[in-house]
Amino acid sequence: MAPSKDETSLERLYGKRLVSVLPVGQTPWYRTPHLLKLNGLLLLLILSATGMGFDGSMMNGLQSLSTWTDYFDNPTSYRLGIVNAVLNVGPIIFGGITATIADRWGRRRTAQFGCLLIILSSALQGASQNLAMFAASRFLIGVAIVFCMVPSPVLVTELAYPTHRSKLTSLYFTFYFFGAIMSSCITFGTYRMSKSTWTWRIPSLLQAIIPTIQFFGIFWVPESPRWLMSKGRSEEARSILVKYHAGGDEGSSLVDFEMEDIHRHLLQEADHVSTSWTKILSSPGDKKRLVIVLYISLVSQLCGNGIISYYLPLILETVGIEDSDRQTLINGILQIYNWFVAIGGSLLVDRVGRRRLWLFAVGGMLISFIIWTTCSALYAERGSNNEGLAIGVLVLVFVFQFHYSAGITPLCLSYPVEILPFHSRQKVMGLNYIGNSLGNLFNSFVSPVALDNIGWRYYLVYVVILLQFLVVVYLFFPETKGYTLEQVSELFESGKFYTGHIRLERSDSGMAAEEDKDQVLQVNEGVKPHQKVADSKDVAEAEMIEYAR
């Protein structure tokens, strides 16, 4: 019987082999109790991204409050840069350490510890008596955020229902804007409340709201089945998949498929199962992935969005929008706009594809930034009477953010985490966050000084960055739509240098499109039950081999 139109469409999105084991006639996830529960628990992890958004928007808001600037003796651009930059020093120091902890002790516990640390650090920030104390509390918040941000997207990716994985992981960083909206609304409200220091202490203390909810909620979040299987705890992993992916059906074909796929992938990576960081460079494919992930981590922060996130008031001042009331209102509207656009982009990653979304986003950002720079230059040349140019710059900020939010926000974490194999996923995502922080450090420290000294000419740096970003995406970013998490990494095992147009010949998502269950098991046929497994992971690998047999 020929497949139906709906089946053909699903196969294009998720691959033939996965579609063949999905439950027939399954109701929508929001009417399926076990999937509703799973996605609700994953939302607790997705909320980890609110920390960065809350902080960036809060610092934008605080810089617009006279009560904050007066209390801290009107910090210069240099001191302001230090206060903003110190948040990123903690992640640079602790990014790799956090990844190691998450690999050894589990993704869930690491994220929960980060939530607790944010709660304590926020209290310290709200009680700050001087700028040094405020900066120290921000350093601790940066350390806390990295403990949340490094393991959470990995756990979301490894735990999500297969057909929900790409959407949920893409939605992850959109909650940056949820945090930004909360912060901007709180700051806008406290600005009108009084002229006391509580106008900035309240937003600082309320930074702990979401982490508090997460800390208690994560007690009910299961651990990653892939991490459990890598530790030789296959039965625990299977029970989680049965409960949350199959609604308790022990005979689920989907669970069998997932267990086989994960086991095969772990066995293929048996030589990589090590705590050594050198294993992230074990093959040419590993090197390609590492370069792409580190590139994304840096350039996604250095393509213009950083100055909007942390220094929107300075941008607005360059075109004559100087009063705090208008600046805080624009900041709040921009964050709400960004969040809705980012959600829309996240829901399109499967249908549009990652590569097309990358190209659309970067191309649109480049064009809007060129026009933005031109308008800013004309405004500086013609003086403050050109209100039309000021409005033009404001509109272009929104146009730029549309493209950034639609493409970069969903993909800057979801694309790296899905292209990485299990043996390097958590470690490289730790390096990814270090790269993010280095980019943010540059934005935090250099941007205010540059905007003060050269104004609109600083935008030319971002025009050049965006131009090379577009070229790199076109040449080196392959499409990953239609592959399972275990299968997608094979895209990078080709010997070709230019990978942008690589697409495996088979039309479905599987690297073994024609394999049936027996052929999958034949991958491990040569492994004998009495065979001795080498190195310190004997027990875990032996259990994987026994299960696969």
Q: What is the C-alpha to C-alpha distance for residues 362 and 364, in angstroms, rounded to an integer? A: 5
For helices 50-63 and 209-217, angle between their N-to-C axes, nearest 10 degrees? 170
The b/e string for 433-444 (b: 16+ C-beta within 10 A; e otherwise) is bbbbbbbbbbbb
13 within domain boundaries: no
Q: Are residues 333 and 439 in the same domain?
A: yes
- pLDDT (average), residues 49-71: 81
Do 484 and 164 contact (CB within 8 A), yes or no?
A: no
CA pair distance 158, 418, nearest whole angstrom: 9
pLDDT (tens digit, 9 = 90+) per residue, 105-137? 999 999 999 999 999 999 999 999 998 899 999
Whose tokens are 């001087």? That residue is: 130
| Angle between the N-to-C axes of helices 131-149 and 209-217, in degrees from 0 to 180, rounded to the nearest 10 | 30
pLDDT at 531: 36
pLDDT for 310: 61
Nearest residue to 229 (alpha-carbon basis) of 184, 282, 269, 189: 269
- Give the pLDDT of residue 220: 96
357 and 312 fall within a common domain: yes
> Is 87 in contact with 149 (CB distance < 8 Å)?
no
Do 459 and 524 belong together in one domain? no
What three-state secondary structure class fits 16?
Answer: helix
Alpha-carbon gap, residue 544 to 295, rounded angstroms = 34
Least confident range from 181-185, 261-265, 268-272, 295-299: namely 268-272
Owning domain of residue 109: 28-224+281-491
**Which CATH number fits the domain that encloses residue 68?**
1.20.1250.20
In a domain, 263, yes or no: no
**Phi and psi of 248, rounded to 5°?**
95, 0
3-state SS, residue 195? coil
pLDDT of amino acid 539: 45
pLDDT at 233: 93
Angle (nearest 5°) at CA 249 between 244 and 250: 105
Place of tokens 């904050």: 68
62 and 159 both lie in a single domain? yes
Q: For residue 1, is pLDDT > 60?
A: no
Tokens of residue 230, six digits: 């890598």
Amino acid at 333: I
Number of domains in the chain: 2
- Contact of 515 with 20, CB cutoff 8 Å: no
Closest CA to 149 of 120, 121, 113, 194: 113
Question: Cα dihedral angle (13, 17, 18, 22), rounded to 10 degrees?
Answer: 110
Inter-residue contact 91 to 438 (CB < 8 Å): no
Task: Read off the pLDDT band of 499 (50, 70, 90).
Answer: low
Predicted local confidence at residue 496, as pLDDT: 59
**Residue 526 scores a pLDDT above 90:** no
pLDDT band at 404 (very low <50, low <70, confident <90, very high): very high
202-226 mean pLDDT: 94
Distance CA 280, CA 282 (A): 6
Question: Are 475 and 423 in a shared domain?
Answer: yes
**Is position 269 within any domain?**
no
pLDDT bin (cut points 50, 70, 90) of residue 329 is confident
533 contacts: CB under 8 Å, gap ≥ 6: 270, 541, 542, 545
For residues 37-61, give the mean pLDDT: 87
Considering the domain architecture, whether residues 521 and 420 belong to the same structural domain is answered as no
Percentage of residues of the chain with pLDDT beyond 90: 34
Residue pair 346/354 in contact by the 8 Å Cβ criterion: no
Q: In the structure encoding, which two tokens stand for residue 237, read together? A: 């992993």
Q: What is the mean pLDDT of residues 505-523?
A: 40
Q: Determine the 3-state secondary structure of 484 from DSSP.
A: coil
Tell me, what amino acid is at 137?
A: S
Burial class (CB in 10 A: 0-12, 13-18, 19+), 420: buried
Residue 541 lies in a domain: yes
pLDDT value of position 319: 65
> CA 395 to CA 207: how far, in whole Å?
30
Q: Which two tokens stand for residue 127?
A: 């009680």
544 and 440 inside one domain = no
CB atoms within 10 A of CB 388: 10
pLDDT band at 57 (very low <50, low <70, confident <90, very high): confident
| Per-residue pLDDT at 494 | 60
Where do we find the tokens 């942390």? 310
Which of 449, 476, 491 marks a domain boundary?
491
Kindly report the CA angle at 191 between 187 and 192, in degrees rounded to 5? 125
- Give the pLDDT confidence score for residue 51 in this predicted structure: 86
Instruction: Assess contact for 157 and 165: CB atoms under 8 A.
Output: yes
| 505: pLDDT strictly greater than 60 | no
Q: pLDDT for 192-209, tens place per residue? A: 776 788 888 999 999 999
Q: Confirm whether 485 is domain-assigned.
A: yes
On whether the CB atoms of residues 191 and 65 are closer than 8 A, the answer is yes
Q: What is the structure's pLDDT at 239?
A: 96
pLDDT band of 3, cuts 50, 70, 90: low
Cβ neighbourhood burial of 250 (10 Å; 0-12, 13-18, 19+)? exposed
DSSP symbols for 181-233: HHHHHHHHHHHTT-SSTHHHHHHHHHTTHHHHHHHHHGGGSPPPHHHHHHTT-
Q: How many CB atoms are closer than 10 A to CB 293? A: 23
Contact assessment for residue 519 and residue 512, using Cβ atoms and an 8 Å cutoff: yes
Same domain for 398 and 532, yes or no, is no
Q: Would you state the pLDDT for residue 405?
A: 92
Q: Are 481 and 520 contained in the same domain?
A: no
DSSP tag of 160: S
> d(Cα 38, Cα 48) in Å, to the nearest integer?
17
Residue 21 located in a structural domain? no
Using CA atoms, how far apart are residues 346 and 174, in angstroms rounded to an integer?
8
Q: DSSP labels for 342-399?
A: HHHHHHTHHHH-HHHHHHHHHHHHHHHHHHHHHHHHHHHHH-TT-HHHHHHHHHHHHH
The reply to whether 402 and 473 lie within a common domain is yes
Is residue 382, in this structure, part of any structural domain at all? yes
Q: In terms of domains, do 522 and 448 share one?
A: no
177 & 69 share domain: yes
Residue 271's pLDDT band (boundaries 50, 70, 90)? low
Q: Are 246 and 66 in contact (CB under 8 A)?
A: no
For the cut 60, the answer to whether the pLDDT of residue 535 exceeds it is: no
Taking all residues of the chain, what is their mean pLDDT, rounded to a whole number? Answer: 80
Is a pLDDT exceeding 60 seen at residue 516? no
The answer to whether residue 58 sits within a structural domain is: yes
Question: Which string of DSSP letters, residue by residue, matches 120-155?
Answer: HHHHHHHT--SHHHHHHHHHHHHHHHHHHHTHHHHH
Radius of gyration of the chain (CA): 24
Q: How far apart are CA 154 and CA 102, in angstroms?
A: 10
What length is written for the chain? 549
CB atoms within 10 A of CB 325: 11
